[in-house]
Amino acid sequence: MMPTDSQNPEISVSDLLLYINCPRRVYFVSRGYELLPEINASRLERMLLKELSLNYSEIVKKCSLNADTMCKELEAALTYACKDLPLMFPKEFERTEKGFLEEGDARARAKIPEIAANLLKGIEEFGNDAMLAALTPVKTEPIIFSKRLNLKGSPSKIVCFEGANVPSIIRPGSCPIQGVWASDRIHIAALALLLESETGKEIPFGFVEYVSFGIIRKVVIRSSDRREVLKICRRVEKIKAGLMPEKTEEKFCPECTFSEHCVSNSSLMSKFF
C-alpha cells in the first residue's frame, strides 16, 4: 500500500538542493548531523554580496545610467552590510577567525566595478523598468508550504514581472556564460511549483540573480524541470524515511563534513557481518 502524504517525512527545497549536491548528504542531515560549512573569507564574501544585492533595486532606482554614482552607492551599501552581518549571524561569527570579515569585505569590494558595469548593461539592454521589476521584491524570503507536494521552501524574493508574481533566487557563486546552472533551474522549478500550489496560477518563469556579477537571468520553466523536481522529491522522501543511498564517487567528498561517517554500503555491511 502506498503511504499517505501525512506519513511521509516533510521535505524542503533545501533537501532537494542537497540531493543534487550528493544524495547521501540528505541522509546525514536528516539524521541530525550538522552540515557545518567552514566560515572563511570566501564564505563571508558570498554572504556580503548576498546582502549587498538586496540593495540593487534601490541603487538602480537612484542611479539610472551614472556609473560613478552607482559604484559609490554600492560601496556605501557594502559598508553597511559589513557592519550588519555579525549582528545578523551571531552564531556563525562566534566561530569566525578575526580578519576573515575584512578579507571577505575586500574581496566583495573588488567586485563592485564589474557589478556596476553589468547592472548598467542590464538597464541598457532590457530598460530601467524591466530591470527594476526583476530586481524589486514584492516579498522577501516568504516561507511557502504545499501539503499536496509535501514540500516547503523559501524563494529569496518574489518579484512582479509582466503582471505575474514569480520566484527569484540570489546566487552568490559563479555565473555561467549563458543561461543558468542546472541546479538553479531545478531550484526555480521547485519554487514555482510551490507558488503555484499556493496561488493556483501557473508560473511560467523565474529569475536567478548572480549577485557577484550584477547579472540577472530569466529562466523559462520546462515540463522536464517540473518532472525532475517531482522525481527528486520522491527520492528525498525515501532517504528521509531511512534509505541510505549508494555512495558514489563525488568531487565534494574531500571537503565534505560527513566524510568520516560516510563509508561505502559494502563497508557498512561488513561492519555488521
Instruction: Return the exposure string of 168-200: e unless at least 16 CB atoms fall within 10 Å of the residue's CB, then b.
Output: bbbbbeebeeeebbeebbbbbbbbbbbbbeeee
Which helix (H) or strand (E) element contains residue 42? helix 41-53
CA gap 209, 156 in Å, rounded: 10
Q: How far is the CB of 238 from ligand SF4 (least distance, A)?
A: 16
Q: How far is the CB of 268 from ligand SF4 (least distance, A)?
A: 12
Interface positions with ligand SF4 (CB under 6 A): 22, 24-25, 28, 247, 250, 252-253, 256, 258-259, 262
Q: How far is the CB of 14 from ligand SF4 (least distance, A)?
A: 15
Q: How far is the CB of 38 from ligand SF4 (least distance, A)?
A: 14
CA distances 146 to 66, 166, 177, 232, 234, Å, are: 44, 16, 34, 16, 15
Measured from the CB atom, the residue of 103 and 250 that comes closer to ligand SF4 is 250
Q: How far is the CB of 16 from ligand SF4 (least distance, A)?
A: 15
φ/ψ region of 163 (left if φ > 0, alpha if ψ in -120 to 50, else beta) reads left
Measured from the CB atom, the residue of 163 and 254 that comes closer to ligand SF4 is 254
Residue 137: closest CA among 209, 62, 241, 201? 209
Measured from the CB atom, the residue of 188 and 262 that comes closer to ligand SF4 is 262
Measured from the CB atom, the residue of 10 and 250 that comes closer to ligand SF4 is 250
Measured from the CB atom, the residue of 138 and 253 that comes closer to ligand SF4 is 253
CA gap 136, 192 in Å, rounded: 18
